[in-house]
Structure 1
Amino acid sequence: MPSTLERSIGANRRTRTPLNRTQIVGFWGAWAGWTLDGMDSFIYALVLAPALTELLPKSGYAATPANVGLAGSILFALFLVGWGLSFIWGPLADRFGRTKVLAATIFTFAIFTGLAATSHTVWELGIYRFLAGVGIGGEWALAGTYVAEAWPEDRRKMGAGYLQTGYYAGFFMAAALNYTIGATFGWRAMFLVGIVPVIVSIVVLLRVKETEKWQKVEATVVKQASSLRSIFSAQYRQRTIVATVLLTVAIIGLWAGAVYEPSAVIQLATKAGMTKADASKTASIATGLLSIGTIIGCLALPPMAERIGRKLTLAVYFVGMAVSIALAFGWAFYLENGLVPFIALLVVLGFFGGNFALFSLWLPEQFETRVRATAFAFCTSIGRFFGAIVNFGIGAMVLHMKTLGVPIALTAIAFVIGLAVIPFAPETKGQDLPT
């Protein structure tokens, strides 16, 4: 039988600092915003084909599969550019507080997602998606910063995993809405649903208090040098660059797979003899399975990162992403009866797509409070510019090769580059959040 001392140690290990009401409300506000952010992001992927099929002829272009693919890539690239510009929210949050700016990001992406439902041409849709991207890109940085600073140290790591599940719960929500509302009322109704986050932004603004860590440094932040300039000081330069590269890799790989996944499933389902309506519903089901896999990956990541370290955990997830993307789009997509193996591989791809949870945990550990939101926003945003460039390249390859699979499969190369960069990142396992 265990001794009294051993039982005491075991009890201490199981004990966690209880969360107060402010921390609980704040987390759910951030989680809800991140969930609706994910829903908004994936709505576009799900309604891409029907929206462009209607809008391209009104814009003077034939709605051929090639033109739909090319226009979809261009519009998604514009969305990523808007997402990249969202680094502006970071310095604002370091200056004016986390919750006010978090509410502003949610309000921005909700309004412009709703306006996308009024689009008459493909260019109007592109403008609205660009502006929605500016809001969406800032939400992750501010939600991640808030939870890292607000939750007690012994719960902060798992809090990052919990938070990240929200984004993929949003994927699942988008799939469910597309299966019901989208299938019944069309793509414009899907964008109208995106207005719902406005309510969340109001709740965040009125009910969630600023973190104590930010309040303590508020007075000194005004006197410090620009937070954007500070993340490129000798103290932080390498961390900023390395984190930006790693996030760029994650964005290129996961978004290429996730955005084109519905189109790939529709093609495979149609090839298997399904009607367009059934193929669209199958894509929604596949997206739901992808989301479930990713949520499991997000929850599995924090304990792994605590056990084997941040760097090795990211390496494991990057290898998993590279293999699953290559097999799904480079192999299963071209099988005679590839629908089932493709969807099975999507679940695996989703699990390793949970690598984004590591950045919610790891980035706040690398920067002090006075520059934390700026660093988080910068590192998570700049990769979108490179993602936009890659997306243009993917669109051109799809148009040239007349196939979707190989161009997406080639994005697995990005994770090989990421594996080479990981050793230059700092290992923060066992370290408290810096003040």
Structure 2
Amino acid sequence: MSGSIDDGTLGGVRPRRTPLDRDQIVGFWAAWAGWLLDGMDSVIYALVLIPALTELLPRSGIEATPANTGYIGSILFALFLVGWGLSFVWGPIGDRFGRTRTLAATVLIYSVFTGAAALSQNVYELALFRFLAGIGIGGEWAMAGTYVAEAWPEDRRKMGAGYLQSGYYFGFFAAAALNATVGAVYGWRAMFLCGLFPVVVSVVTLFKVKEPERWEALHEAGAKRVSPLLQIFGPQYRTRTLVMSTLLTVAIIGLWAGSVYEPAAAITLAKGAGYAPAEAVRFASYGTAILSLGTVLGCLVVPMMAERLGRRATLALFFSGMLVFVALSFGWAFYLPPERALPTFLTLLFFLGFSGANFALFSLWLPELFGTDVRATAFAFCTSVGRFIGAGVNFALGAAVHGMGTLGTPVAWTAVAFGFGLLVIPFAAETRGQPLPR
């Protein structure tokens, strides 16, 4: 029996999976590398937030107090999320002009403007560059996820989604390593300059990776096209679009609050434990590495759980983990006595990261809910629209951090979003055992 079952066994013998051809392998690694560098770019900001704002706030006429740093940092991140939210425009482009060309364009945009952030002379310039980088970053996930789902054979695409999502969190490792080496020696501007490297991936993607056969066949058929944005809100897809957008909004609110504020929390706790500022910055890198390790392992587990338990049950388990560990990390461990707070917080980060692998499930699940003619648009819309709400939450978080004079409690309250998400999951369509729609 060959290539028909993804993870099961027959008579104690694991069926042979469909082999990948050269184009599928090259295409996957191009998408994975782009997603890795995307994750690296996203975390660079969180890691350099304090040193960058310490320098740029006085140049902008704002005192660099801890409260102002937290407040302005939240505003800048909210603007970044607005840019990410606008990235839904890449979906119709990908459905019209192809997955790989659009993927290359997204990587080019986010790498150029990440590098430009190194030239910022005040917080306003930094905000503009991060906003523009966000537009590119948001599109990369949609294009990479759509490409892998369509290019890989049916019996392998589910694990492919988990492997792909792990790239984003390997990017966290890369950012942490750069922060502990390049950032510690050369400063925050050098960190942003490292973000220019994805330009290479963009060029390789454009010239070396073929379009998936599914998209090529549809494109060559030359069928009359209706706006894919209108289609995903038509009778066939409306409920799926709204439900998945809601669930992704929940994931965005909770995970981003935790991952973005983790470095600042680690630095705060390290200083409270008596470590020098330079050593405290290294603890931010350690925390990011621990968070990433947990998430990478979770990404590898998600496809197997989704096949055995179903998509809805798997998401419910991971959302429950996020609810518990966001609350414990920021609402409890953050306020322990100094000698206990830092090690306890770092330990909980592993479980917070593992639960955050729920994003890998969306990479697997979203392509199964929409046809080829609208798949990129639906993926981009569902993964982007929640960023606007996430931006609003970050504005509120920034105000709460500023008003309360503490970081832990406001972030801990974002765990409530996962409770709401658990109530929405039953309305999602279960697709376990179903092939990718044509």
Which residue in the other structure is 2:342 paired with? 339
Deviation at 1:15, TM superposition (A): 0.8
**Residue 219 (structure 1) shift:** 3.9
1:221–1:370 Cα contact (<8 Å) kept: no
Q: Does 1:49 align with 2:50?
A: yes
Letter in 1 for 2:196: I
RMSD: 1.0
Q: 1:369 is aligned with what amino acid?
A: T
- Show the counterpart of 1:381: 384
Match of 2:176 in 1: 175
- Deviation per CA, 1:310-368: give whole Å up to 9, x if none: 00000000000000000000000000021011011000000010000000000000000
Work out which of the residue numbers 356, 359, 372 in structure 2 matches 1:356.
Answer: 359
Task: Give the equivalent residue in structure 2 for 1:153.
Answer: 154
Measure, in 2, the Cα distance between the counterparts of 1:353 and 1:412.
12
Aligned residue number for residue 409 of structure 1: 412
Q: Which residue of 2 aligns with 1:3?
A: none
- What code does the residue aligned with 1:404 have? L
- The separation in 2 between residues aligned to 1:201 and 1:421, in whole angstroms, is 37
Structure 1 equivalent of residue 163 of structure 2: 162
Provide the aligned length of Structure 1 versus Structure 2: 428
Partner of 2:401: 398
**TM-score with structure 2 length normalisation?**
0.97
C-alpha deviation, 1:286, in angstroms: 1.1
Paired with 1:218 and 1:79, the residues of 2 have a C-alpha distance of 33
Task: Give the Cα–Cα distance (whole angstroms) in 2 for the partners of residues 222 and 120 of structure 1.
Answer: 50
User: Which amino acid in the other structure matches residue 124 of structure 1?
Assistant: E
The corresponding residue for 1:223 is 224
C-alpha separation in 1, matches of 2:408 and 2:307? 36
Shift of 1:106: 0.1
Amino acid at match of 1:172: F
Shift of 1:9: 3.5
Comparing both structures, which one devotes a greater share of its residues to helix? 1
Deviation at 1:13, TM superposition (A): 3.6
Partner of 2:428: 425
List aligned pairs for 1:117-156, cutoff 5 A: 117-156=118-157
Cα distance in 1, alignment partners of residues 331 and 62 from structure 2: 30
Pair 340,221 (structure 1): closer, same or farther in 2 beyond 3 Å: farther
AA aligned opposite 1:391: N
State TM-score, norm by structure 1.
0.97
Which structure 1 segments of 5+ residues have no match? 1-7
- How far apart in 2 are the matches of 1:10 and 1:147? 30
Cα shift readout 1:253-287 (whole Å, capped 9, x = no counterpart): 00000000000000100010000000000110111
CA distance in 2, matches of 1:286, 1:222: 51
**Aligned: 1:201 with 2:206:** no
Separation of aligned partners in 2, 1:14 and 1:294: 28
TM-superposed CA distance for 1:220, in Å, is 4.9
Q: Determine if contact 1:317/1:353 at 8 Å carries over to the other structure.
A: yes
In structure 1, distance between residues paired with 2:37 and 2:113: 13
Match of 2:4? none
Match of 2:6 in 1: none
Separation in structure 2 between the aligned mates of residue 197 and residue 301 of structure 1, nearest angstrom: 27
* Selected match of 1:367 from 357, 366, 370: 370
Aligned-partner residue type, residue 168 of structure 1: Y
| Structure-2 change in CA distance of 1:229 and 1:264 (3 Å) | same
**What is residue 282 of structure 1 aligned with on the other side?**
283
User: How much has 1:224 moved relative to structure 2?
Assistant: 2.1
Partner SS, residue 370 of structure 1:
coil
Query: How far apart in 2 are the matches of 1:109 and 1:11?
Result: 47
Output the CA distance in 2 between the equivalents of 1:218 and 1:11: 43
Give the distance between the partners of 2:277 and 2:222, measured in 1 at CA. 56
Q: Deviations 1:366-421 (Å, cap 9, x if unpaired)?
A: 00000000000000000000000000000000011111000000000000010000
Q: Given the superposition, is the C-alpha separation of residues 65 and 162 from structure 1 closer, same or farther in structure 2, using an over 3 Å criterion?
A: same
How far, CA to CA, are the matches of 1:15 and 1:292 in structure 2? 29
- Residue identity opposite 1:343 in structure 2: L
Contact 1:95-1:221 within 8 A present in 2 as well: no
Label 1:221 to 1:88 Cα distance change in 2 as closer, same or farther (>3 A).
Answer: farther
Q: Deviations over 1:191-245 (max 9, x none)?
A: 0000000000000000000000001111456612101110000000000000000
Is residue 69–residue 398 contact of structure 1 (8 Å, CA) maintained in 2? yes
User: What is the SS of the residue equivalent to 1:85?
Assistant: helix
The residue identity in structure 2 corresponding to 1:260 is Y
Structure 2 distance, partners of 1:224, 1:63, is: 53
Q: 1:208 to 1:10 in 2, by over 3 A?
A: farther
Q: 1:429 & 1:346 partners in 2: Cα distance?
A: 30
In structure 1, distance between residues paired with 2:28 and 2:52:
35
8 Å CA contact 1:94, 1:221 repeated in 2: no
CA–CA separation in structure 2 for the residues paired with 1:317 and 1:356:
10
SS at match of 2:119: coil
Which residue of the partner structure matches residue 35 of structure 1?
Answer: 36
Partner of 1:4: none
Equivalent position SS for 2:61: coil
* Residue identity (%): 67
